[in-house]
């Protein structure tokens, strides 16, 4: 019994601590996912949720003064995600994950209003693939920046 306890203690204490880098990377991925999800919500819903806001149809829940910052974050966060990854596979996965999750949540939510095959119509497929390609490209640019700057 004591050897089992010793093995268990050794296993617990041998685990690597969560690095601040990986924690920050996770926070950036979650933030990007929230931004993508808020961008995919239709303008009509924002005007119903925030009826007193004059610009909710254009900027959603964000004030007009910080709307350019939100757009900038939508472009810079996937690039930062790619820049902070050591491998290109991880960079592409984590940079596109917010788009995958946002599109998936949107497709499930929209199914009740527009039907189960909404996501498979040709114009929606093109838009979805374009969004995923954009995020993959931005993550690749970040990773290539890391690679060319030789940051390890």
Can you give the residue ranges of every domain in the chain? 19-148
Q: What is the pTM of this model?
A: 0.77
Q: Nearest CA to 106 among 38, 57, 58, 26? A: 38
User: How do residues 103-133 score in pLDDT, each as one tens digit?
Assistant: 888 888 877 777 777 777 777 778 888 888 9
pLDDT value at position 91? 93
Q: Please check whether residue 90 is in contact with residue 28, taking contact to mean a CB–CB distance below 8 angstroms.
A: no
pLDDT value at position 9? 67
Binned average pLDDT, 10 residues per bin, the chain of 152 residues: 68 69 90 88 76 73 83 93 92 93 84 74 79 92 90 67
């Amino acid at each position: 019994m004591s050897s089992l306890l010793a093995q268990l203690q050794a296993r617990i204490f041998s685990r690597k601590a969560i690095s601040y880098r990986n924690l920050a990377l996770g926070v950036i991925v979650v933030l990007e996912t929230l931004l993508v999800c808020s961008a995919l919500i239709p303008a009509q819903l924002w005007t119903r949720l925030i009826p007193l806001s004059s610009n909710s149809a254009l900027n959603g829940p964000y004030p007009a003064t910080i709307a350019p910052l939100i757009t900038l974050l939508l472009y810079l966060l996937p690039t930062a995600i790619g820049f902070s990854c050591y491998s290109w596979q991880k960079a592409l996965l984590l940079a596109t994950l917010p788009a995958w999750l946002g599109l998936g949540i949107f497709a499930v939510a929209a199914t009740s209003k527009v039907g189960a095959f909404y996501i498979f119509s040709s114009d929606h497929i093109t838009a979805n693939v374009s969004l995923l390609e954009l995020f993959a490209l931005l993550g690749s640019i970040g990773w290539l920046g890391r690679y060319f700057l030789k940051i390890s």
